[in-house]
Amino acid sequence: MSEDKKMTACVLRNIGDLRVEQVNIPQLSPGQVLVKVRAAGICGSDVERVFTKGVYHYPTIIGHEFAGEVVDVGSEDRDWLGKRVSVFPLIPCFRCPSCMEGRYAQCQHYDYYGSRRDGGFAEYQAINTWNLLPVPDTVAFESAAMFEPAAVAMHALGQAGPLQGRTIAIFGVGAIALIMAQIAANAGCSRVVLVARSQEKADFAKRMGFGDVINSRVENVQARVSELTNGQGVDIAVEGCGSSATLEDALAVSAAFGTVICMGNPKDDISLRRDAYWGILRKQLRLCGTWNSSFKVSHNDWKAVLDMVETGRLRLRDLITGRYSFEQAETAFNDIHMNAGQGVHIKSMFINGEERV
Reported as a single tens digit per residue, the pLDDT across 202-226 is 999 999 999 999 999 999 999 999 9
Quick one: average pLDDT of 158-178? 97
- Res 231 pLDDT > 80: yes
| Predicted confidence band of residue 279 (pLDDT cuts 50, 70, 90) | very high
Strand pairing partners for 66?
40
236 and 305 housed in the same domain: no
- Assess if residue 111 is contained within a domain: yes
The pLDDT score that the predictor gives to residue 1 is 56
Question: Which of 38-47, 69-78, 191-200, 339-348 is least confident?
Answer: 339-348
* Number of domains the chain is built from: 2
The pLDDT score that the predictor gives to residue 270 is 96
- Assess if residue 224 is contained within a domain: yes
Specify the CATH number for the domain of residue 70. Answer: 3.90.180.10
Hey, is 251 helix, strand or coil?
A: helix
- Res 102 pLDDT > 50: yes
The pLDDT score that the predictor gives to residue 77 is 86
Backbone angles phi, psi at 351, to 5 degrees: -120, 130
Specify the CATH number for the domain of residue 276. Answer: 3.40.50.720
Strand pairing partners for 195?
171, 214
- Res 52 pLDDT > 70: yes
Backbone angles phi, psi at 331, to 5 degrees: -60, -45
Reported as a single tens digit per residue, the pLDDT across 321-338 is 999 999 999 999 999 998
Domain boundaries, position 40: 6-149+294-351
| Predicted confidence band of residue 340 (pLDDT cuts 50, 70, 90) | low
- What is the C-alpha separation between 123 and 109, in angstroms, rounded? 28
What's the pTM? 0.96
- What is the C-alpha separation between 221 and 327, in angstroms, rounded? 42
- Assess if residue 155 is contained within a domain: no
- What is the C-alpha separation between 259 and 82, in angstroms, rounded? 44
pLDDT averaged over every residue in the chain: 96
The pLDDT score that the predictor gives to residue 2 is 46
22 and 92 housed in the same domain: yes
Backbone angles phi, psi at 202, to 5 degrees: -60, -45
